Copies of this chain bind each other. A is one copy, B any other.
């Protein structure tokens, strides 16, 4: 039941054997390499219409680069028509600028076995990002603390199907705003050896992220070791703080996810094609800008899109319209030759109940088939992103195993065809004991490490536990079993010194 159990020779069962087979170490599966097609909802004509409309948006309407004279200068020099803070990008220019961005790139982890390859047919899974609250069965809903943050990093490290430690797995609200990025980075760097994200809330915090990474990796030497989330203020506004962080990261060859954050009908048109047009225009402008800062710097084109409940104005998740946009945006981003970020364990529910799971599964399945390359929020998201849920974190993380197996596609070799088995068993027989089943049963079927497969009577005897209860037990067990990955003591000390020095150098600020 526990990914680290294998190390202690305690499990000995199917779980550890599966881990051996599918993981680059016994703990964590390799990032997903798809062997299935993408689902393409738009035909060629529709794609061309949206692409032409996006160019019209960039040229006629333009985009705003706010409080950022350097950006305006860069755009002017690149050939854009700049009026005030409005940048009109001539037809074709953005597409040309985007072409210098790499199709795929490696994000290095301090444990090289955890390196991830972002782009192509790959899918890298990272946990929930940003919630100010946490929830668990014992404590209910409450403001997140640094201890919660550290717990979620530990759970992410121990999740077999999670390739990435993420970034703001929750907001440590007990730490001053201007210092919490230091504690967050330190947690990712010391409590996990998976790749992580940098701070984006201030350009100086992005610089701190680069400086700490330089310590962790003993010199970056242009290696990409962070993938950070640069939201666009939709519609079509690029603010100085986010772009300032992007500038720091691009200059240091660190990856940015350039990602509109869209609640449909509020930050974008209420129709799917209209939203896709705006998303494409925003991606073109934002990714172009990263290439103006440093041609060839790695970037991911993102689309965070939800629909809206027009009765209440609440964002809604796992909806058909979000699926349409995610599928369509995947096609548009692939045509740009960029890695694609979208999807996640999205839900609006306040509890990790059936609503949460319906909405999450709708979102996860769609993201896999949409060709997503980097999935932020892949586990732990609750209540529209306001809450990081302990139980849902391990529930979703378990479901991520289904994506790994779905992506493998159908084996068509002689063993897969199984004609000998069909001959052996024949009409009226059964396959449980046949040679082919014996040879293949260990790897044939994905099996949840969390969900209940027991007969009703056994399940009732064991207390009729629902999924949340099972997940709560798993969370407690994982946190109790947690052991930090090995780390050079000198490196740890240097990181702790950096954090202490930076903290001492500025007064606390809570805004």
Contact call B416/A467, Cβ cutoff below 8 A: no
Contact call A444/B273, Cβ cutoff below 8 A: no
List, in ascending order, chain B residues with CB within 8 A of A446's CB. 307, 319-321
28 contacts between A and B (CB under 8 A): A14-B311, A36-B41, A39-B39, A49-B417, A53-B419, A57-B422, A61-B423, A64-B428, A141-B456, A269-B437, A270-B436, A270-B437, A270-B441, A270-B444, A271-B436, A273-B410, A307-B444, A308-B445, A310-B441, A312-B453, A316-B445, A318-B361, A353-B353, A354-B392, A357-B361, A358-B361, A359-B451, A369-B369
In the bound complex, CA of A86 to CA of B328 (Å): 51
List, in ascending order, chain B residues with CB within 8 A of A429's CB. 235
Contact call B355/A358, Cβ cutoff below 8 A: no
Known: A319-B446, A353-B466, A445-B309. A410 touches B324 (CB 8 A): yes
Contact call A410/B355, Cβ cutoff below 8 A: no
* Interface residues in A, total, Cβ within 8 A: 128
In the bound complex, CA of A418 to CA of B271 (Å): 7
Q: Quick check: is A406 within 8 A (CB to CB) of the other chain?
A: yes
Q: Quick check: is A223 within 8 A (CB to CB) of the other chain?
A: no
Known: A350-B459, A417-B274, A441-B265. A39 touches B369 (CB 8 A): yes
In the bound complex, CA of A57 to CA of B451 (Å): 37
List, in ascending order, chain B residues with CB within 8 A of A63's CB. 427
Nearest CB on B from A441, distance (A): 5
**Among candidates B276, B404, B412, B445, residue contacting A310 with C-beta atoms closer than 8 Å:** B445
Contact call B271/A416, Cβ cutoff below 8 A: yes
List, in ascending order, chain B residues with CB within 8 A of A268's CB. 431
The proximity string for A residues 404-416 relative to B, scoring 1 for CB distances below 8 Å and 0 otherwise, is 1110111110011
Contact call A270/B440, Cβ cutoff below 8 A: yes
List, in ascending order, chain B residues with CB within 8 A of A40's CB. 37
Known: A270-B436, A430-B267, A444-B310. A277 touches B350 (CB 8 A): no
Which B-chain residue is minimally distant from A141 (CB atoms)?
B456
List, in ascending order, chain B residues with CB within 8 A of A427's CB. 61-64, 86, 235-237
Q: Quick check: is A264 within 8 A (CB to CB) of the other chain?
A: yes
In the bound complex, CA of A261 to CA of B304 (Å): 40
Known: A350-B459, A436-B269. A417 touches B61 (CB 8 A): no
Instruction: Find residues 50-77 in chain A having any chain B CB closer than 8 Å to their own CB.
Output: 50, 53, 56-57, 60-64
